[in-house]
A and B are shown apart, each in its own frame.
Chain A
Amino acid sequence: AQTVTQSQPEMSVQEAETVTLSCTYDTSESNYYLFWYKQPPSRQMILVIRQEAYKQQNATENRFSVNFQKAAKSFSLKISDSQLGDTAMYFCAFSTGQGGSEKLVFGKGTKLTVNP
């Protein structure tokens, strides 16, 4: 069974600074997908960034980037120039894509607070 572990229950950062959220996962599959989702107080989960395991290049989306270490099964999220609107729960998620299903396995989340 696949598992996703987020070891930081809570983190805080000053506005405009950089923060890194950690995620590790466990799988025996060779090909899979990794994601970071954001859940603000409005409760609506929003995809932040996705990474396909067969791609060696780390994904980036504007101020968000990942450090994907396949051998270490590590997938951290870096948020640059943090903004107040980045305050949210961040969930790391994994999917094998078997059968075309986008069934995601989520970690427990990291609560990020951006302070003014």
Chain B
Amino acid sequence: DTGVSQDPRHKITKRGQNVTFRCDPISEHNRLYWYRQTLGQGPEFLTYFQNEAQLEKSRLLSDRFSAERPKGSFSTLEIQRTEQGDSAMYLCASSTGTFGKLFFGSGTQLSVL
């Protein structure tokens, strides 16, 4: 059990650029979640995969955001045409199936200049 891994740990980009984050869940976990956390707030749900199927998306996930989980393994979260309001910590979590016991990664901190 190597834990949930997220890459990169930090990303600085200019407004209007595209960015992509990667999440590697714990290998036997079939559920994968993306959350966004802004300063002084708790994490907010973005989207959820069971295996390769994206089962739920938050209204927070605008058309500029897209997430994939090919073959039900790692996942990517892409943000197109970044805006300053996208600056946040993007957290990935995977699940054992014990309800609510999510294993989180250390997040990707995005700063949009």
Contact = CB atoms under 8 A, between A and B. Distances in A.
B107 A33 contact: no
Nearest to A9: B40
Interface string B15-43: 00000000000000001010100001111
Nearest to B58: A103
Contacts of B44: 106
Interface residues of A, number: 25
Contact of A43 (B48, B89, B102): B89
Contact of A47 (B33, B43, B91, B102): B102
Contacts of A102: 31, 33, 48, 95, 99-100, 102
Bin the interface of chain B by size: 20 to 34
Contacts, number: 64
A89 B41 CA distance: 11
Interface stretch (A12-20, A62-70, A80-88, A92-100): A92-100
A104 B104 contact: no
A56 interface: no
B43 A101 contact: no
Q: Is the interface of B mostly helix, strand, loop or mixed?
A: strand
A50 B56 contact: no
A35 interface: yes
Interface in B39-75: 40-45, 48, 50, 55-56
Contact of B45 (A42, A105, A109): A105
B18 to A, nearest CB: 24
Interface string A48-61: 00100000000000
A44 interface: yes
Given A102-B33, A103-B48, A103-B56, A44 B101 contact: no
A99 B56 contact: yes
Given A91-B42, A99-B55, A102-B100, A45 B89 contact: no
Interface pairs A-B: 8 shortest CB-CB: A106-B42, A45-B104, A103-B45, A44-B106, A91-B42, A43-B106, A33-B100, A50-B100
